[in-house]
């Protein structure tokens, strides 16, 4: 069997061309998966320490829902306060600071 895109000989068991990456049926090349997103405190959308905003950004949830869930955890069980403090300590900051060109050394 030959690749329909680049003409390289392929084995019958091959699903993708080793030369160009196209599927054996002639469809588009396999797309690499996106790198996993790190769980970091969001410093641009924070209220206290950015923990709720970081969790919301990581899971692509609404920040308000995460904050309301945190408040419900505080009101109902009180477990959310130690969890928030631990997350505050363990989660790295996501600082995106840009230095203006005039101040760059």
pLDDT in tens, 2-54: 777 787 887 887 877 877 777 776 545 556 666 677 889 888 888 999 999 99
Rounded CA gap, 98 and 43, in Å?
14
Regarding pTM above 0.75, the answer is no
- Name 104's Cβ contacts closer than 8 Å, sequence gap at least 6: none
Quick one: CA dihedral 55, 57, 59, 61, positive or negative? positive
Residue 92: is its pLDDT beyond 80? yes
Q: What is the pLDDT of residue 98?
A: 47
Rounded CA gap, 51 and 57, in Å?
10
Judged by average pLDDT, the poorest of 4-8, 38-42, 73-77, 87-91 is 4-8
């Amino acid at each position: 069997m030959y690749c329909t895109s680049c003409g390289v000989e392929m084995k019958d068991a091959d699903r993708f061309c080793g030369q160009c990456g196209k599927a054996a049926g002639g469809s588009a090349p396999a797309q690499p998966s996106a790198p996993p997103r790190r769980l970091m405190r969001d410093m641009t959308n924070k209220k206290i320490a950015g923990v709720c905003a970081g969790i919301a950004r990581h899971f692509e949830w609404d920040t308000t829902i995460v904050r309301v869930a945190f408040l419900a955890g505080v009101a109902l069980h009180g477990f959310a306060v130690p969890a928030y403090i631990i997350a505050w300590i363990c989660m790295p900051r996501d600082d995106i600071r840009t230095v203006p060109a005039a101040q760059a050394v």
